[in-house]
Structure 1
Amino acid sequence: MRIIVDDLSHPKVAALLNEHLAGMYASSPAECVYALDLSALQAPEITFLTAWDGDELLGCGAFKLLDAHHAEIKSMRTAAGHLRKGVARQILRAIELMAAKRGVRRLSLETGTGDAFLAAHRLYLDFGFLDCGPFADYRLDPFSHFMSKPLPAVHPAPKRHILPFPAAGV
């Protein structure tokens, strides 16, 4: 599996995002769907990732910077043919690592509340996300489940200084 920062230009990415939006609208009332479409995901504050196996798209996920230290997970979706193969776990790991390297100290998310979202709830709980209240511009509603977790600080590896050794026999 290869996970990349994606520019959203591949037709397979557009198709997966359309599947994602259709699933969100099928599971929640339109006024309670906060999923972003392809053009909204191209905003500069959003980093969009895709997972591939060769030329086969396995899944996607993104994070949106809310401020210098807080980001929101967006558009987590595994392609239907690759469910329960660990795709979402790998994407979520990549999001956490990339966000932490950019100085994010808290990751939050909004997801649905129906049965269609139970697998997502389990995934986020497994990764240490805990229930929280609404954040950013969200409001409480019966179709939204809010979760958040702190991220550890990621410090760059220390630079190694090579010290010259005296020549043999000196």
Structure 2
Amino acid sequence: MAQSVYRIVPDDLSGDAVTALLRFHLDEMHRWSPPGSVHAMPVERLRQPDVSFYSAWDGDRLAAVGALRQLDERRGELKSMRADPAWRGRGAGQAILRHLLAEARGRGITWLGLETGRTEPFHPAVALYRKHGFTSCEPFGTYVADEFSQCLHMELTA
């Protein structure tokens, strides 16, 4: 299937399509993850000043979302990466990931981390992250080592 060219924009999380995709994302995280291992942020948390949220559009249709959380001056974290199911396999997730990597580099972030699951539903996302240079790391921030979660990171250069 041909990949689309996506228009990626900063998003204030006020649109129905964006909030519906995030609600779907949270519902799946709760379905796929054991209690205490859901680290996806609700819309209210994604609106806080330490998070920059972006949406990727294919024409007037929402294709994917993702966020960059500033941990400190040089470290960031990817949050709420999600492609709409209709855009899976069409490069939407890759487009938003590339945008977030460029945004992080532009801010001078030199370390970028993320937390995700280890089970089968998370394998496509993990493959995308690894394709772009993320490698396994120890839990960071408030994450703890467990059998379900894994943390990945990458060192960024300008």
One fold, TM greater than 0.5? yes
Task: Spell out the pairing of 1:64-83 with structure 2 (5 A cutoff).
Answer: 64-83=69-88
RMSD after superposition: 0.7
Determine what percentage of the aligned residue pairs are the same residue: 41
Aligned to 2:122: 117
Deviation at 1:34, TM superposition (A): 0.3
Task: Spell out the pairing of 1:16-95 with structure 2 (5 A cutoff).
Answer: 16-95=21-100
**Residue-by-residue CA offset, 1:11-54 (whole Å, 9 max, x unaligned):** 11000000000111111112100000100000101010100122
Aligned to 1:160: none
TM-score between the two structures when normalised by the length of structure 2: 0.95
Of structures 1 and 2, the larger Rg is shown by 1
Distance in 1 (alpha carbons) for counterparts of 2:88 and 2:61: 14
Distance in 1 (alpha carbons) for counterparts of 2:140 and 2:30: 22
3-state SS in 2 of match to 1:30: coil
TM-score between the two structures when normalised by the length of structure 1: 0.88
Distance in 2 (alpha carbons) for counterparts of 1:55 and 1:12: 10
Distance in 2 (alpha carbons) for counterparts of 1:130 and 1:118: 14
Deviation at 1:67, TM superposition (A): 0.4
Q: Give the unaligned 5+ runs of structure 2.
A: 1-5
Aligned pairs, number: 153
Deviation at 1:147, TM superposition (A): 0.3
Distance in 2 (alpha carbons) for counterparts of 1:4 and 1:28: 30
**Residue-by-residue CA offset, 1:43-89 (whole Å, 9 max, x unaligned):** 10101010012221001011101100000000000001111000011
Deviation at 1:133, TM superposition (A): 0.5
Distance in 2 (alpha carbons) for counterparts of 1:30 and 1:104: 32
3-state SS in 2 of match to 1:148: strand
Aligned to 2:105: 100
Deviation at 1:117, TM superposition (A): 0.4
**Residue-by-residue CA offset, 1:95-140 (whole Å, 9 max, x unaligned):** 0001111111011000011100000111011000000000111111
